[in-house]
Amino acid sequence: MQKSMMLTGAMALALLTGCEKAEAPAPTDTPTTTEEVPVETVPAEGADATDPATASHRFASWAGKWTGVEGMYATITPTEPGKYKLEMQSDLDTKGTYDGEDSEHGIKFKRGSEELSLRRGSGDETGLKYLAGKKECLIVKSGEGYCRD
């Protein structure tokens, strides 16, 4: 009985890790079996939710490097829950590291005096000819976007 409960828990966790907005159930002190024996939840192999750096980030799937035009890029690294480190070369003269955080539609950050946000979009929406036709992109503003190939 205990093995079947562990397998059921592992399968449920594996299904939930595939959903971007899925949240793990809160732990309880209430025993989960009729024998009053707590059941351990076994995480699915390779599940991103087991990595503390990505477990509580709304946009964890955006982690990594995104490429823009003419050597521009954005690298997103999850840090503490709901926070990110953004390393960006946003134009020929502007390269920097910025603190970002989860917002309703993306990752908000401040660059200089500007309040900006990375949001999901397409290459066509960036307004950049080089990125046209690409499907998986992040947009900061018109003329500034980054895509994955």
Residues 135, 76 share a domain? yes
In tens, the pLDDT along 79-110 reads: 999 999 999 999 989 999 999 999 999 999 99
**Please, are residues 141 and 68 in contact by the beta-carbon 8 Å criterion?**
no
Tokens of 42: 């076994």
Read off the pTM. Answer: 0.63
Residues 84, 43 share a domain? no
Residues 99, 38 share a domain? no
Residue 55 domain-assigned (yes or no):
no
**Regions in the chain scoring below 50 on pLDDT:** 1-22, 24, 30-50, 52-54
Write the DSSP symbol of residue 59: T
* Alpha-helical segments (H) within 18-137: 123-126
Separation CA 60–CA 74 (nearest Å):
14
CA of residue 98 relative to chain centroid, distance: 16
